[in-house]
C-alpha cells in the first residue's frame, strides 16, 4: 500500500525526493537528536496524484489524521482545543529549494474558542489575537484566494483610525476587531465564512500548498532554475513554536560559514521577539547572530553546538532557521546552503583540507557556471568617486544599469534590451520577474538572509542588501542617499556585490583576479587558489581533452594560457575579410582561369602567414583548420547598396561604374533564398575551382615553414557541411594531391589528417560510410541543431524562443544546451557508426555546446575525445570535463 505520510522520526535525508528537502532534513535532524518541533510530512507523491486528478489520493487524509493523533498525543494537546490548543504550521517543501515561491499557513487550529485558550495558556492575550489575525489573513489569501491588498487596506484603515503607524502599537482589542474585519471581508469576497473547524483548516491548507506548486511565481522560478515541473511539493505539518512571545524569544537564520565568501565563522541574523517569516521578509532590521551571545548565552551555546553537528554531519555549509521560545531553542529547518561561486570553491577546498570530503567530492561541488562568473570583470575603484551608499555584500560581482524602482519597470526596460538595477526597500517573491530581468538587486533593508539576498545568490545575480542610508520614494520614482543626493529612476548606477558598495554612473571595469591569474600565471591566492586547485584536480581526472575555437594567433595564445590542448576549430572566413575582400571579389568575378588564379595566388601567401602564426602559437598541439564555409556572397557588397549606387549614377545621367554593374550581376546570380542551406561548406570547394587547393597549399606551406624554423606543427584539415561520403572523398582526393605536391616541392612529406564536420543529420545517419574517408569527426552542433530542428540559427532565438520557453517546449535554448533526445541521438549514432568503421576515429565537438557545462557532460558520456570552445570557456570546459569523469565514475579518481 502506498504511504502518503511520514513522521519526522521515520525519514531521513535520503528520502528528499519523497519528503522534499525541508521534510527530509527535518527528519534527518530528528534522527540526529536535535531539538526539532515534532511533525510529519505529506509526500510529493500525494501532491503529484492531487495535481493529476484534482482530488487527494485515497487514504491520504486517513494517514494525516493518524499522524495528527500521534502528534497530539506526544504534545498532550489537541489541535485547536479550546483550552491550551495545539497549533501547527503547514509549509511547502519541494525536493529543490524554492525560497518563498510556494505557500505557507501558520497557526492552524486557531478559532474563536481556541484563541482564548491560547491567550490563557501563553499568558499573553495580545499575542493570541495577533496570531489569530495572521491566520485569518494567511488562510484568506492563500486558501480562499482573497486579494492580499484587501487585508492590507483593512489594516491600514484600522491603524489610521487608531492614529498609530506601526502594527506593534495595536492593542488586543484592536487585533480582535481586525479579526472581525478580516472575517467580514472573507465572507463578502467568497460568500463563505472563515472555517472554525481546525480539521477543515488543516485539510484545506494542505491542498492549497499542493496547488501552490503550480502558482505563477513557482513556475517562473522553476523555469529559471531548470527544476522539472513534474516533481510536486511535499507538505510539512509541524507543531508551532513562537519567537514572538517577548524579549526572551526570537527567530534567526544561521550559516555555518559565510555564504558570500565561504570562509569559516559564524554568520547569520537574529530578530528578537519575532517570527521566522519576519526575518526572511527583511521587514525589520535584524541584529548580527553574534549578539545572541549576550541576549541569551545558553541558547547561543546550544546553537553553536548544533551548527557544528550539522556541518560535520552534512559535510557542507548548512543554513539553519531557528526559533527561541521563552529561552528554549528549536531548530525549524536546515539545508545545504546556497552560496556564491566564490564560496563554493572556498568551501570545497577547506572541507577537503579538513578531511571532511575527498578531492572528487570537492570537484563535484563546484561548477563551470560559477567559474565563468569568477572570470567576469570587477570594478576599477581606484578612479572611482565616493560610494553613494554601502550595504551588505550579499552576492558578488559588478553590475551597471539604470536604477528602477519596481519589478514591472525592470521587466519592461529589460525587454527593450536595457540593463537595469532593481532597487527596492525589500523584495518579496512577487519581485521575481524583476530580479530575473535586472543585472543586480539593491535593497535598503534586510540582511544576508533576506529574500533578496537568498534568491540573488541562488541565481548568481549581484546583490547588495540592507543599504540603510537609502530612502526609497516609489511615488516620485526616486531614492535619496544618506547625504541627501537624489537619484531619479533611470539614472545609471553601479553595484559592487563583493564590496557592498553602490556608485553613481558607470564605474569602469578591470579583469577579475582569476582572469589575471589565467592570463599571466600570477601566483594564485585566496579564491583564485581554490579555483586553481579544482582545475588541477579536474585536469587530473578528465578523459575529455579541451581545445579552443580560435582563428588568430592572439586567440590561440590566450587559449593555450587558459589550458587549451589544441585548436578544435580554426574558422578561415575572417581571413577573407578587410583588405582581402577585394581579392575574393576578383576571384568571384574572374572571367578567365588566369584572372581567378591571380586572385588566389595573391591570397595564398596571406593565408600561409595566418596559419604559420597560429601553428606557432599552438606549437606541438593539434590545430584543426576548417576549409572555407560561408556562402561566397557574404564577401560581396550588399545587393541593395549596389543597386542604389547604380541607380543614383543613372539618375545623374552618368555611366554607372562597370565594376559595380558586374558585382550586382554576380550578387544577383548568387542570391539564395536560404543561404544557410545553399552553396556553402564542402559544396563551395566542389564548385569553386582552385579554392580548396589554395587553402590546403597555404596550410602545407605553413607546416613546412614552421618545421624549417624548428617548430612542431600539427595541422589537421577539416571539411565543413559534408552530407555524403562522396563529397569528402572528392575533396580529400584534391587535398592529398596538394599535400603530395607541396611535399615534393619542398623535399619533405607533409602529413595532415583530413577529417570532416558532422553537422547535418544525413552526415550523422551515414557516418559509417563517411568514416571510410575521414580521419576524424568534429560535431558542428550549431548547424546540427539548426538542421535537426529546422531552426534558422540567425533568426529564431530573437523571433520566438521566448514563447517556446514560456510554453515549456524546452527550458533552455537548444543552441545553448545540447538537445539530448534529438540532436544527441544523432551524435550517438554517428559516434557508434563512425567507430564501427574506424575504431581509432578521433571525435570532437566544436559547436558552441563544447563550452556549455551540461553539454560537456553529455559529450563525455557519448564517448567523444575532446570538446572545443571559445578561449574564455576553456577553463569552464576543463572543470566540467573533470566533473563529468567523476560523476560517471570512469575517470582516474585516486585521491
Of 372, 257, 397, 248, nearest to 314 by C-alpha is 257
CB atoms within 10 A of CB 475: 7
All residues at 6 or more sequence positions from 470 whose CB lies less than 8 Å from its CB, including other chains: 389, 423, 442, 444, 479, 480, 481, 482, 502
Rounded CA-CA distance 158/268 in Å is 35
Residue 813 as a binder of ligand PEP (CB under 6 A): the answer is no
Pick the stretch among 244-252, 466-474, 491-499, 774-782 that binds ligand PEP (CB under 6 A): 774-782
Which of 535/722 has CB closer to ligand PEP?
A: 722
Of 811, 809, 807, 781, nearest to 793 by C-alpha is 781
CB of 884 to ligand PEP, least distance (A): 20
Strand spans (E) along 611-694 = 622-626
Rounded CA-CA distance 495/441 in Å is 8
Rounded CA-CA distance 279/333 in Å is 14
Pick the stretch among 10-18, 584-592, 777-785, 853-861 that binds ligand PEP (CB under 6 A): 777-785
CB of 759 to ligand PEP, least distance (A): 5
User: Would you state the cell numbers that stand for residue 810, as one nine-digit string?
Assistant: 524546452
Residue selected from 563, 780, 814, 850 as contacting Mg ion according to rule CB under 5 A: 780
Rounded CA-CA distance 58/2 in Å is 10
The residues facing 252 across adjacent strands are 270, 322
CB of 445 to ligand PEP, least distance (A): 48
The CA-to-CA distance between both ends of the chain, in Å, stands at 44
Identify what 846 binds: Mg ion, ligand PEP, none; CB under 5 to 8 Å per kind.
ligand PEP
Residue numbers 389-418 binding ligand PEP by CB under 6 A? none
Residue 783 as a binder of Mg ion (CB under 5 A): the answer is yes
Q: Is the CB of residue 586 less than 8 Å from the CB of residue 690?
A: no
Q: Is the CB of residue 397 less than 8 Å from the CB of residue 464?
A: no
Residue selected from 518, 569, 583, 874 as contacting ligand PEP according to rule CB under 6 A: 569
**Angle of CA points 540, 542, 548, to nearest 5°:** 105
556 CA to centre of own chain: 28
Rounded CA-CA distance 47/256 in Å is 32
Rounded CA-CA distance 64/620 in Å is 69
Residue 819 as a binder of ligand PEP (CB under 6 A): the answer is no
Site string for ligand PEP, 731-770 (x = CB under 6 A): ----------------------------x-----------
Residue 496 as a binder of ligand PEP (CB under 6 A): the answer is no
CB of 573 to ligand PEP, least distance (A): 8
Rounded CA-CA distance 5/16 in Å is 13
User: Would you state the cell numbers that stand for residue 547, as one nine-digit string?
Assistant: 581545445
User: Would you state the cell numbers that stand for residue 227, as one nine-digit string?
Assistant: 527544476
Query: Beta 509-510 vs 378-379: how paired, if at all?
Result: antiparallel
CB of 569 to Mg ion, least distance (A): 9
Site string for Mg ion, 737-776 (x = CB under 5 A): ----------------------x-----------------
Residue 629 as a binder of ligand PEP (CB under 6 A): the answer is yes
Identify what 130 binds: ligand PEP, Mg ion, none; CB under 5 to 8 Å per kind.
none
Which of 282/780 has CB closer to ligand PEP?
A: 780
Identify what 569 binds: Mg ion, ligand PEP, none; CB under 5 to 8 Å per kind.
ligand PEP
Identify what 847 binds: ligand PEP, Mg ion, none; CB under 5 to 8 Å per kind.
ligand PEP
Which of 26/869 has CB closer to ligand PEP?
A: 869
688 CA to centre of own chain: 45
The set of catalytic residues is 451, 846
Which of 316/629 has CB closer to ligand PEP?
A: 629
Helix (H) or strand (E) holding 93: strand 88-94
Cell 529574500 -> residue? 451
Identify what 360 binds: Mg ion, ligand PEP, none; CB under 5 to 8 Å per kind.
none
Residue selected from 783, 819, 833, 880 as contacting ligand PEP according to rule CB under 6 A: 783
Residue 513 as a binder of Mg ion (CB under 5 A): the answer is no
Residue 780 as a binder of ligand PEP (CB under 6 A): the answer is yes
CB of 637 to ligand PEP, least distance (A): 22
Identify what 296 binds: Mg ion, ligand PEP, none; CB under 5 to 8 Å per kind.
none
Residue 107 as a binder of ligand PEP (CB under 6 A): the answer is no
Size of the site for ligand PEP (CB under 6 A): 10
Phi, psi of 178 (to 5 degrees): -65, -40
Q: Is the CB of residue 269 less than 8 Å from the CB of residue 286?
A: yes
Residue 846 as a binder of ligand PEP (CB under 6 A): the answer is yes
Residue selected from 444, 512, 781, 817 as contacting ligand PEP according to rule CB under 6 A: 781
Rounded CA-CA distance 270/132 in Å is 24
Determine the 3-state secondary structure of 217 from DSSP: helix
Helix-then-strand count for the chain, H and E: 36, 31
CB of 695 to ligand PEP, least distance (A): 15
Residue 847 as a binder of ligand PEP (CB under 6 A): the answer is yes
CB of 790 to ligand PEP, least distance (A): 15
CB of 780 to ligand PEP, least distance (A): 3
Identify what 31 binds: ligand PEP, Mg ion, none; CB under 5 to 8 Å per kind.
none
Which of 111/781 has CB closer to ligand PEP?
A: 781
User: Would you state the cell numbers that stand for residue 653, as one nine-digit string?
Assistant: 545621367
CB of 761 to Mg ion, least distance (A): 13
Per CB under 6 A, residues contacting ligand PEP are 569, 571, 629, 759, 780-783, 846-847
Per CB under 5 A, residues contacting Mg ion are 759, 780, 783
Amino acid at each position: 500500500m502506498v504511504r502518503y505520510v511520514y513522521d519526522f522520526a521515520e525519514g531521513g535525508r535520503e528520502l528528499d525526493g519523497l519528503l522534499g528537502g525541508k521534510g527530509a532534513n527535518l527528519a534527518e535532524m530528528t534522527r540526529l537528536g536535535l531539538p526539532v518541533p515534532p511533525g510529519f510530512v505529506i509526500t510529493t507523491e500525494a501532491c503529484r496524484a492531487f495535481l493529476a486528478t484534482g482530488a487527494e489520493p485515497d487514504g491520504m487524509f486517513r494517514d494525516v489524521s493518524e499522524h495528527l493523533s500521534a502528534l497530539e498525543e506526544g504534545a498532550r494537546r489537541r489541535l485547536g482545543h479550546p483550552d491550551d490548543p495545539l497549533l501547527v504550521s503547514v509549509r511547502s517543501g519541494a525536493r529543490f529549494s524554492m525560497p518563498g515561491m510556494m505557500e505557507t499557513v501558520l497557526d492552524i487550529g486557531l478559532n474563536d474558542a481556541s484563541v482564548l485558550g491560547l491567550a490563557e495558556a501563553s499568558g499573553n492575550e495580545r499575542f493570541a489575537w495577533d496570531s489569530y489575525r495572521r491566520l485569518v489573513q494567511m488562510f484568506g489569501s492563500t486558501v480562499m484566494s482573497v486579494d492580499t491588498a484587501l487585508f492590507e487596506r483593512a489594516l491600514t484603515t484600522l491603524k489610521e483610525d487608531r492614529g498609530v503607524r506601526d502594527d506593534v502599537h495595536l492593542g488586543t482589542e484592536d487585533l480582535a476587531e481586525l479579526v472581525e474585519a478580516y472575517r467580514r471581508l472573507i465572507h463578502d469576497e467568497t460568500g463563505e465564512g472563515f472555517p472554525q473547524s481546525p480539521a477543515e483548516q488543516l485539510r484545506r491548507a494542505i491542498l492549497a500548498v499542493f496547488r501552490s506548486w503550480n502558482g505563477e511565481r513557482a513556475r517562473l522560478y522553476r523555469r529559471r532554475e531548470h527544476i522539472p515541473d513534474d516533481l510536486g511539493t511535499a507538505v510539512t505539518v509541524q507543531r508551532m513554536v513562537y519567537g514572538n512571545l517577548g524579549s526572551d524569544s526570537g527567530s534567526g537564520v544561521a550559516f555555518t560559514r559565510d555564504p558570500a565568501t565561504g570562509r569559516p565563522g559564524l554568520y547569520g541574523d537574529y530578530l528578537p521577539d519575532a517570527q521566522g517569516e519576519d526575518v526572511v521578509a527583511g521587514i525589520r532590521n535584524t541584529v548580527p547572530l553574534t549578539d545572541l551571545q549576550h541576549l541569551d548565552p545558553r541558547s547561543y551555546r546550544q546553537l553553536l553546538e548544533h551548527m557544528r553537528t550539522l556541518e560535520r554531519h552534512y559535510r557542507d555549509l548548512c543554513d539553519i532557521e531557528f526559533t527561541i521560545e521563552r529561552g528554549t531553542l528549536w531548530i525549524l529547518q536546515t539545508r545545504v546552503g546556497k552560496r556564491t561561486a566564490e564560496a563554493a570553491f572556498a568551501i570545497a577546498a577547506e572541507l577537503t583540507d579538513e578531511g571532511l570530503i575527498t578531492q572528487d567530492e570537492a570537484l563535484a561541488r563546484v561548477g563551470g557556471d560559477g567559474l565563468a562568473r569568477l572570470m567576469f570583470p570587477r570594478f576599477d575603484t581606484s578612479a572611482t568617486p565616493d560610494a553613494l551608499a554601502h550595504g551588505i555584500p550579499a552576492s558578488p560581482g559588478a553590475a551597471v544599469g539604470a536604477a528602477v524602482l519596481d519589478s514591472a519597470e525592470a521587466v519592461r526596460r529589460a525587454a527593450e534590451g536595457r540593463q537595469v538595477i532593481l532597487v527596492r526597500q525589500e523584495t518579496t517573491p512577487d519581485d521575481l520577474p524583476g530580479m530575473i530581468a535586472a543585472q543586480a538587486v539593491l535593497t535598503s533593508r534586510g540582511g544576508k538572509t533576506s529574500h533578496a539576498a537568498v534568491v540573488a545568490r541562488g541565481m548568481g545575480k549581484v546583490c547588495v542588501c540592507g543599504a540603510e542610508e537609502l530612502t526609497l520614494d516609489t511615488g516620485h520614482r526616486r531614492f535619496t542617499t544618506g547625504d541627501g543626493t537624489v537619484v531619479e529612476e533611470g539614472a545609471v548606477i553601479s553595484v559592487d556585490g563583493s564590496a557592498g558598495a553602490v556608485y553613481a554612473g558607470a564605474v569602469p571595469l578591470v579583469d577579475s583576479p582569476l582572469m589575471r591569474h589565467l592570463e599571466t600565471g600570477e601566483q594564485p591566492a585566496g579564491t583564485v587558489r581554490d579555483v586553481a586547485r579544482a582545475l588541477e584536480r579536474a585536469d587530473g581526472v578528465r578523459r575529455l581533452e579541451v581545445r579552443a575555437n580560435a582563428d588568430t594567433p592572439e586567440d590561440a595564445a590566450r587559449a593555450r594560457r587558459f589550458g587549451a590542448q589544441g585548436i578544435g576549430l580554426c574558422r578561415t572566413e575572417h581571413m577573407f575579410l578587410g583588405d582581402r575582400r577585394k581579392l575574393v571579389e576578383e576571384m568571384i568575378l574572374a572571367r578567365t582561369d588566369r584572372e581567378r588564379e591571380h586572385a588566389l595566388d595573391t591570397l595564398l601567401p596571406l593565408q600561409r602567414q595566418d596559419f604559420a602564426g597560429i601553428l606557432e602559437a599552438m606549437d606541438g598541439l593539434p590545430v584543426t583548420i576548417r576549409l572555407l564555409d560561408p556562402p561566397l556572397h557574404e564577401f560581396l557588397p550588399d545587393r541593395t547598396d549596389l543597386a542604389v549606387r547604380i541607380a543614383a549614377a543613372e539618375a545623374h545621367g552618368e555611366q554607372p561604374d562597370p565594376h559595380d554593374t558586374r558585382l550586382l550581376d554576380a550578387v544577383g546570380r548568387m542570391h539564395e533564398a536560404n543561404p544557410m542551406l545553399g552553396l556553402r561548406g564542402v559544396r563551395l570547394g566542389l564548385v569553386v575551382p582552385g579554392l580548396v587547393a589554395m587553402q590546403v597549399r597555404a596550410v602545407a606551406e605553413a607546416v613546412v615553414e614552421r618545421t624549417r624554423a624548428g617548430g612542431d606543427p600539427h595541422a589537421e584539415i577539416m571539411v565543413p557541411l559534408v552530407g555524403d561520403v562522396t563529397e569528402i572523398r572528392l575533396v580529400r582526393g584534391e587535398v592529398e594531391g596538394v599535400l603530395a605536391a607541396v611535399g615534393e616541392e619542398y623535399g619533405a612529406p607533409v602529413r595532415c589528417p583530413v577529417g570532416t564536420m558532422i553537422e547535418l543529420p544525413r552526415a550523422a545517419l551515414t557516418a559509417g560510410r563517411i568514416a571510410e574517408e575521414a580521419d576524424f569527426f568534429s560535431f558542428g552542433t550549431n548547424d546540427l541543431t539548426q538542421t535537426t530542428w529546422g531552426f534558422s540559427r540567425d533568426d529564431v532565438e530573437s523571433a520566438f524562443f521566448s514563447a517556446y520557453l514560456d510554453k515549456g517546449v524546452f527550458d533552455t535554448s537548444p543552441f545553448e544546451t545540447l538537445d539530448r533526445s534529438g540532436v544527441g541521438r544523432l551524435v550517438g549514432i554517428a559516434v557508434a557508426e563512425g567507430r564501427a568503421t574506424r575504431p581509432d576515429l578521433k571525435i570532437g565537438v566544436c559547436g558552441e555546446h563544447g563550452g556549455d557545462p551540461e553539454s560537456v557532460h553529455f559529450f563525455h558520456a557519448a564517448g567523444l575525445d575532446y570538446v572545443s570552445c571559445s578561449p574564455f570557456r576553456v577553463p569552464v570546459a576543463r572543470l566540467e570535463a573533470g566533473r563529468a569523469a567523476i560523476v560517471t565514475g570512469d575517470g582516474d579518481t585516486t585521491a
